[in-house]
Amino acid sequence: MLSKRAGKIKPSPTLAMDAKAKAMKASGVDVVNFGVGEPDFDTPDNIKEAAIKAIKDGFTKYTPVGGIDPLKDAVIEKFRKDNNLEYARDEVIVSCGAKHSLYNIAQALYGPGDEVIIPSPYWVSYPDQVILNDAVPVFVKTYEKDKFMLKPDVLESHITKKTKAIILNSPSNPTGLTYDKKTIEGIAGVALKHNLYVISDEIYEKLTYDGFTHISIASLSNEIKARTLVVNGLSKAYAMTGWRIGYTAGPKDIIRAMTNIQSQSTSNPASIAQKAAVEALTGPQDFIKTMLSEFDRRRKFLVTELNSISGISCLTPTGAFYAFPNTSKLYGKHADENKVSSSSELALYLLEKASVALVPGDAFGDNDYIRLSYATSMDNIRKGVERIKEAVNRLKQA
Ligand X SMILES: *Cc1c(COP(=O)(O)O)cnc(C)c1O
| C-alpha–C-alpha distance, residues 274 and 293, integer Å | 27
What angle, rounded to 10 degrees, do the helices at 252-263 and 98-109 form? 110
Q: Tell which one of 72, 78, 99, 214 touches ligand X (CB under 6 A).
A: 99
- H or E segment at 256? helix 252-263
Candidates 173, 208, 216, 228: give the one binding ligand X (CB under 6 A).
173
H or E segment and range at residue 185: helix 181-193
The C-alpha atoms of residue 186 and residue 146 are separated, in whole angstroms, by 14
Rounded Cα distance, 396 and 90, in Å: 60
Distance from C-alpha of 17 to C-alpha of 253, rounded to nearest angstrom:
42
Considering only residues 323 to 362 of the shown chain, the ones binding ligand X according to CB under 6 A are none
* Chain residue whose CB lies nearest ligand X: 97
Here's the x/- map for ligand X, 12-51, by CB under 6 A: it reads as -------------------------x--------------
Number of Cβ within 10 Å of residue 282's Cβ equals 15
List 123, 197, 209, 364, residue binding ligand X (CB under 6 A): 123
Nearer to ligand X, 13 or 189 (CB): 13
- Tell me phi and psi for residue 367, to 5 degrees: -70, -15
Q: Return the number of the residue (167 or 356) whose C-beta is nearest ligand X.
A: 167
Least separation, in Å, of the C-beta of 102 and ligand X? Answer: 7
Total residues at interface with ligand X (CB under 6 A):
14
Measure the CA–CA gap between 127 and 363, rounded to whole angstroms: 11
Compute CA distances 256 → 111, 211, 273, 302, whole Å.
17, 37, 22, 44
Taking CB under 6 A as the rule, does residue 97 contact ligand X?
yes
Cα distance between residue 166 and residue 157, in whole Å: 13
Cβ closer to ligand X: 233 or 328? 233
Touching ligand X, residues 234-273 (CB under 6 A):
235-236, 241, 246
Binding to ligand X by CB under 6 A, coded x per residue (else -) over 179-218, reads: ----------------------x-x---------------
Residue 269 vs 384, nearer CB to ligand X: 269
Distance, CA of 363 to CA of 292 (rounded, Å): 26
To the nearest whole angstrom, how small is the minimum distance from the Cβ of residue 375 to ligand X? 11
Range in contact with ligand X (rule: CB under 6 A) among 17-25, 92-100, 176-184, 327-335: 92-100
Q: Which is nearer to ligand X, 99 or 164 (CB)?
A: 99
Q: At closest approach, how far in Å is the CB of 304 from ligand X?
A: 24
CA dihedral 200, 201, 207, 211 (to 10 degrees): -20
120 binds ligand X (CB under 6 A): no
Choose between 91 and 201: whose C-beta lies nearer to ligand X: 201
List interacting residues with ligand X (CB under 6 A). Answer: 37, 97-99, 123, 169, 173, 201, 203, 233, 235-236, 241, 246
